[in-house]
Structure 1
Amino acid sequence: MDNVSSSILTFDKLTKLNLSIPDYQRPYVWELKQIKMLLKDIENSKSGALLGSIILHEIKRDDKTIYEVIDGQQRLTTIKLILMVLSEYKIVMENHNGYSNYLSNVSFFHKISQDNIKNNYEYIKNYLSNEDKAKDFLEKLEKTQFIIVATTKADDAFIFFDNTNSKGKKLENYDLIKAFHLQSIKNEKMLNKWAKYYEGLFEEKCKTQPNIKTLLLKFLIPTRLWIKGSSRDNKFDKVAFNELCNEDLDGKRATNIGILSNYKYGDDFFKYLKKYEKIYKSILENNESFNPLWKPHSKVGNLNTFDGLMMCLVLCESKFKNSKEISPSLSRVVYSHRLLEDRVNCPKNAKDLVKHIYFASYASEVEKLLEKKGQKCQEEELKAKKTIKAKTHNELTAYLDNFYKNFENKIVYKHKYNDEREK
């Protein structure tokens, strides 16, 4: 490609580039394991360590050439921390004032970045604990080399965007999804807005605030796949990127059909994500009375009953605005299978319902379906009642009693779930 160039730069030449880390990049996630490895690589090298490839997007801004870092920000940020430590030894750095301009305008607003910067800086400071060691380390650092791949096109830069750094942490799919959609937004204000919104989803703010992993891997991706008829019930992270990032579309939405809407890149995707995050959050906030039953079971790796229930409720709310009215009967049906199987990672009933809800034209269709399924659940529970009570682990029996107690006066079709269960 004519617009792509590659070269090997020494550390001294690299620091003279006007480098910038875009807001759409992931936080600074390197921890002590990666820091120790990088320091040893530099220290143990006699002729200069080769510290891997750096992928840059070359842009013009105010008559200046700026190189946005597409891949390599973890290493480059760590080197910035090393230089900050070395700058405390004035004799060591007396002839290297130019290094002060290296990544001078980069800011890290994410708490993950700030915590890692603080911890790593303290470790590096202890590692370079005296002037002689610092001086020797700087000499070796200056001999290091980097393979630089630079392109003037953002799309080409993204093609070179590695899934792993040579010595770093693997990029998660939610990091790649963010980068894919943000890199196409040209308006800097909008780019910053969506970058901060997305990063905010990594934080556990409260019990009713879903984080990015929950939204993608326990809601959006499985719901989309179940509607499409996929049999995949785990490892949703493996298909997340392909499901939400469509390079072959025409630049706009190819479909606009609710939760199955597809996006090539950009602003529309973040609006889509925010829409369902808002609905998910509102359902948790407005259904406090069911919290004793709605146990997220966060330690379970695969999807669980709670996740399946939330898929159904969010779909009902997005289509019919009736999640609060229908939540008792939905919970009644979804949790029945969890009771019978004695497993928390058991969303079978939810999986059967998701497709019906998505393709239903009216809320009444869903209500009739739940009434029918509720009757079937009642019959199955009555047949299994003796087996359930005979189990040595009586947690399930207590759970079943609590289940009926919570639903006795709240079930929408309560005439179908009366005291017949005691006969």
Structure 2
Amino acid sequence: MLNDPRSHGLWEKTAPEAPTTSPLDGAISADVVIVGGGYTGLSSALHLAEAGSKVVLLEAKEIGFGGAGRNVGLINAGMWVMPNDLPSVLGPVHGERLLDLLGNAPKLVMELIDKHQIACELERNGTLHCAVGADGLKEIEDRAAQWSARGAAVTLLDAAETAKRIGSDAYTGSLLDKRAGTLQPLAYARGLAHAAVKAGVAIHTSSPVIATERNGSRWTVKTASGEVSAEWIIVATDAYSTGPWEQVRSEQVHLPYFNFATVPLGHNLRQSILPGREGAWDTKEILSSFRMDQAGRLVFGSVGALRNTGLAVHKGWAKRALKRLFPIIGDVEFECEWYGQIGMTDNALPRFHKFAPNVVGFSGYNGRGIAPGTVFGRTLAEHILGRIGEADLPLPLTALSEPSFRALKEIWYEAGAQVAHFADARF
């Protein structure tokens, strides 16, 4: 996007076209104005419009420009935090409420894809959280026990079954989450946009918000060439926030994450590597993720940014790591390369913010954007429609705050990933 081949890579190359949009021009009125064209904003817009609300969505750049169009494409349930830890962090009411909502979030994603016939390469075969060593195995055993106690459809697999499903004997076991799956993330975002437009939403891209103004019971949201008057504002900008809600970006530490996509693999390799098409990632601190797309490309990623010296370092590591993980693959060639930023909060959990009267938003998805973004978008719609009160939301109201040493942490994450990948598997 915006003439940058490393922003969205394979996903931009293979996604269906987005709906035709244009910048906001002139003054218009709506019930709700949504700022941000990712999963949260698009899901909110779709659910509000289907309920009869007049909705305008403003996107600073293009649909899916932020994390929605750059991520791995894993439809995960829950967050990185262990299930039993959520009630201790959020309290028993919000903790269990959030676990229930996010545990069922992949189901909503798949229902929307089916309902609106979104062509986004959906695979419903689950995900595999792969254990590295004894410590990794203990981690997934604990996670499996905690989810199973809540009735989740998860299964702990031994090393032999994991090797059969992955095509590699590198792991001591894995956690199969049958609630989850994979999709083409930019195609999903664009599909939601098409569905929203069909439901009556007015989407304006290349329309960054520059200011807001309160006029009685309504808000005026201004861009360079127009303005929208509405009773409610949904802030759905998350890790790529700029302008009036730049504080949302400032309360998150950016963690860079890259992906490489191989050329389509031959038939024999596709029958050996992830034959069930599950998405996978491992338990390493600097983790790796891998999954297949519909054409048989192996998408392989990890922490790091593909800029400056990082491009050569991470590409060299990816080729070595893939050959070590899948010896039968040989020397691979990459067809696409891209990266983005994951917004990490200080407790690895999302936030609910009330920026002003009738100005609300969820943010801080910590690398779990697809299912949480979709279900939080629906939740915001239900809140505005009066179906869910503020006291009944899945997260408590949180004040905006910037983490200590944010800028230094971001430099460290990018540099540290380069150091780790330069040294890993070189000998």
Query: Which TM bucket (shorter chain)?
Result: under 0.3
Comparing both structures, which one devotes a greater share of its residues to strand? Answer: 2
* TM superposition score normalised by structure 2: 0.22
Between structure 1 and structure 2, the one with the greater Rg is: 1
Greater relative contact order: 1 or 2 (C-alpha under 8 angstroms, separation 6 or more)? 2
